[in-house]
């Protein structure tokens, strides 16, 4: 296990370096594009004697708005394509703005999203999803980026009488939109996160990478259909010490491990749970930031039930305000166990259990909801047994 961890930690460093190189190259290309398009606008402002601090600041704000619009267009493409394919929205994030599905409603929050500028996380429908619908979902962002890029370019050409700043914005939006679409169509992995192109080409060419994606989608489809984690049918189970030895684990590998951890948890397989917890702790740097809260939740929970109080406190603090404000059954389960094992507040734990059970039916992943309900009931039973012994 130690050699396995050391091997992949070294691979993580190499992957991070590759990601930084790719980001540097893209940054240079994007910076050149921005500088070239900005030069024309600023040259005109200088010649007309209109260049000022106000003009420069307004130009900077315009650039930020353009980036925000481009990222939003990309994620909107995934959202529209996903809806057409029957997917359910779980999380939509742009920059610091997040909308997350909590108890059947989209909850807005402002938080730092490290490592990515946008995210559209959707859950496949309960019935089997055809390959072309999956491809539609993953290609949605690329298609809308390129389509809107062309629309912006044509608009700038068809309406020459527009204000110069608006014309510049349309040209810049067209350029950056097409650029972002082409970059995402290119197959590579940055850190542990694959581009849309990596996913699409792997599916079309039936590469090994697509097998992990298919496995994850199969798990999610079963859970969303109401199958409990312990009853999931896995055609192939990830062997952490062999299968992942050849390549660097991606975010889909990490997501698959989270769901397999849930299976071990639902089976009360303590030995396998401990193995997954060890892997989570050793590979925290591989998890994309949008998956880290889920990992922190489970590390906090497992530390509670194993009596590792210091660890439980540390992971509770790492979960931060997200866990404190979490009102769905998953967050309630972690908070209830934390109150019981760490804070020794039995009444608070009982109240949280009741609140958690009250929102079970609103949790979007039905199979997980059934497991969460039983875990809350087990804690209530444990507290009742203690009270009976005392009385």
Q: What is residue 315's predicted lDDT score, i.e. its pLDDT?
A: 97
Q: What is residue 353's predicted lDDT score, i.e. its pLDDT?
A: 97
List of residues 6+ apart from 315 with CB closer than 8 A: 296, 297, 299, 300, 303
Token pair listed for 109:
């929050």
**3-state secondary structure (DSSP) of residue 45:** helix
Could you say which of 201, 232, 259 is where a domain stops? 201
The answer as to whether 7 is a domain residue is no
My answer on whether 177 and 45 are in the same domain is yes
Q: What is the pLDDT of residues 323-373, one digit of tens each?
A: 988 999 999 999 999 999 999 999 999 999 999 999 999 998 999 999 999
Q: What proportion of the chain, given as a percentage, has pLDDT over 70?
A: 80
Residue 286 near residue 12, CB atoms below 8 Å: yes
Q: What is residue 76's predicted lDDT score, i.e. its pLDDT?
A: 95
Q: What is residue 5's predicted lDDT score, i.e. its pLDDT?
A: 45
What is the pLDDT confidence band of residue 46, given thresholds at 50, 70 and 90? low
Q: Is the pLDDT of residue 81 over 60?
A: yes
Token pair listed for 78:
């995934």
Token pair listed for 362:
């609103």
The answer as to whether 183 is a domain residue is yes
The three-point CA angle 237-138-200 to 5° equals 70
Q: What is the pLDDT of residues 282-317, one digit of tens each?
A: 888 888 888 899 999 999 999 999 999 999 999 999
The answer as to whether 179 is a domain residue is yes
My answer on whether 239 and 154 are in the same domain is no
β 88-94/97-102 pair status: antiparallel
My answer on whether 265 and 378 are in the same domain is yes
Q: What is residue 211's predicted lDDT score, i.e. its pLDDT?
A: 83
CATH number at residue 283: 1.25.40
My answer on whether 230 and 341 are in the same domain is yes
The answer as to whether 11 is a domain residue is no
> What is the rounded distance in angstroms from the CA atom of residue 156 to the CA atom of residue 166?
8
My answer on whether 247 and 328 are in the same domain is yes
Could you say which of 147, 167, 201 is where a domain stops? 201
My answer on whether 197 and 228 are in the same domain is no
Residue 174 near residue 153, CB atoms below 8 Å: yes
List of residues 6+ apart from 299 with CB closer than 8 A: 277, 280, 281, 311, 315
Token pair listed for 81:
């394509």
My answer on whether 169 and 307 are in the same domain is no
CA distances from 105 to 90, 96, 124, 188, 354 (A): 10, 19, 18, 34, 20
Residue 183 near residue 146, CB atoms below 8 Å: no
Could you say which of 169, 201, 233 is where a domain stops? 201
What is the pLDDT confidence band of residue 16, given thresholds at 50, 70 and 90? low
My answer on whether 335 and 263 are in the same domain is yes
Q: Is the pLDDT of residue 146 over 50?
A: yes
Only one residue has tokens 């050391």, namely 6
Indicate the number of domains in the chain. Answer: 2
The answer as to whether 84 is a domain residue is yes
Q: How many CA atoms lie within 13 A of 292 on its CB side?
A: 21
Q: What is residue 246's predicted lDDT score, i.e. its pLDDT?
A: 44
The answer as to whether 6 is a domain residue is no
My answer on whether 45 and 164 are in the same domain is yes
Nearest one of 131, 251, 149, 136 to 195, comparing CA atoms? 251
DSSP string, 109-144: EE---TT-SEEEEEE--SSPPPHHHHHHHHHHHHHH
How many of the other CB atoms lie within 10 Å of CB of 134? Answer: 21
**Where in the sequence is the domain holding 378, given as residue range(s)?**
219-390
How much is the mean pLDDT over the chain? 83
Residue 124 near residue 224, CB atoms below 8 Å: yes
What is the pLDDT confidence band of residue 96, given thresholds at 50, 70 and 90? confident
DSSP string, 151-171: HHHHHHHH-TTS-HHHHHHHH
Long-range contacts from 337-340, C-beta under 8 angstroms, 24+ separation: 337/301, 337/304, 337/305, 337/379, 338/300, 338/301, 338/304, 338/312, 340/304, 340/379, 340/382, 340/383
My answer on whether 161 and 249 are in the same domain is no
Token pair listed for 24:
């540097």
The answer as to whether 24 is a domain residue is yes
My answer on whether 136 and 235 are in the same domain is no
Average pLDDT over residues 71-98: 91
**What is the helix (H) or strand (E) element at residue 201, kind and residue range?**
helix 196-204
My answer on whether 182 and 299 are in the same domain is no
**What is the helix (H) or strand (E) element at residue 189, kind and residue range?**
strand 189-190
Token pair listed for 366:
């039905």
pTM summary value: 0.80
The answer as to whether 247 is a domain residue is yes
């Amino acid at each position: 296990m130690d050699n396995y961890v050391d091997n992949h930690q070294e691979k993580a460093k190499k992957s991070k370096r590759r990601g930084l190189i790719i980001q540097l190259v893209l940054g240079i290309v994007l910076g050149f594009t921005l500088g070239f398009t900005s030069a024309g606008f600023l040259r005109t402002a200088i010649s007309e004697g209109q260049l000022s601090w106000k003009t420069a600041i307004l130009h900077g704000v315009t650039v930020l708005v353009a980036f925000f619009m481009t990222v939003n267009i990309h994620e909107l493409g995934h959202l529209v394509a996903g809806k057409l394919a029957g997917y359910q929205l779980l999380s939509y994030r742009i920059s610091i703005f997040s909308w997350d599905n909590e108890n059947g409603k989209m909850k807005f929050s402002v938080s730092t999203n490290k490592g990515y500028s946008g995210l559209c996380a959707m859950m496949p429908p309960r019935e089997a999803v055809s390959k072309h619908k999956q491809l539609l979902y993953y290609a949605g962002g690329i298609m809308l980026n390129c389509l809107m890029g062309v629309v912006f370019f044509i608009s700038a050409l068809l309406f020459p009488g527009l204000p110069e700043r608006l014309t510049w914005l349309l040209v810049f939006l067209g350029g950056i939109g097409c650029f972002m679409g082409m970059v995402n169509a290119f197959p590579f992995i940055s850190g542990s996160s694959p581009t849309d192109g990596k996913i699409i080409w792997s599916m079309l060419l039936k590469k090994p990478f697509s097998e992990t994606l298919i496995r994850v989608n199969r798990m999610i489809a079963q859970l969303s259909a109401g199958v409990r984690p312990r009853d999931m049918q896995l055609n192939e189970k990830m062997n952490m010490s062999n299968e992942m030895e050849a390549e660097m684990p991606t975010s889909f590998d990490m997501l698959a491990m989270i769901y397999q951890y849930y299976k071990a948890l639902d089976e009360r397989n303590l030995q396998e749970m401990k193995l997954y917890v060890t892997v989570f702790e050793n590979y925290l740097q591989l998890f994309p930031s949008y998956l880290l809260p889920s990992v922190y939740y489970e590390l906090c929970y497992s530390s509670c039930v194993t009596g590792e109080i210091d660890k439980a406190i540390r992971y509770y603090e790492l979960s931060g305000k997200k866990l404190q404000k979490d009102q769905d059954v998953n967050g309630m389960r972690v908070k209830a166990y934390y109150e019981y094992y760490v804070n020794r507040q039995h009444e608070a734990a009982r109240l949280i259990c009741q609140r958690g059970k009250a929102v079970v039916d609103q949790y979007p992943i039905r199979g997980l909801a059934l497991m969460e309900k039983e875990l809350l009931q087990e804690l209530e039973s444990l507290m009742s047994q203690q009270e009976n012994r005392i009385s």
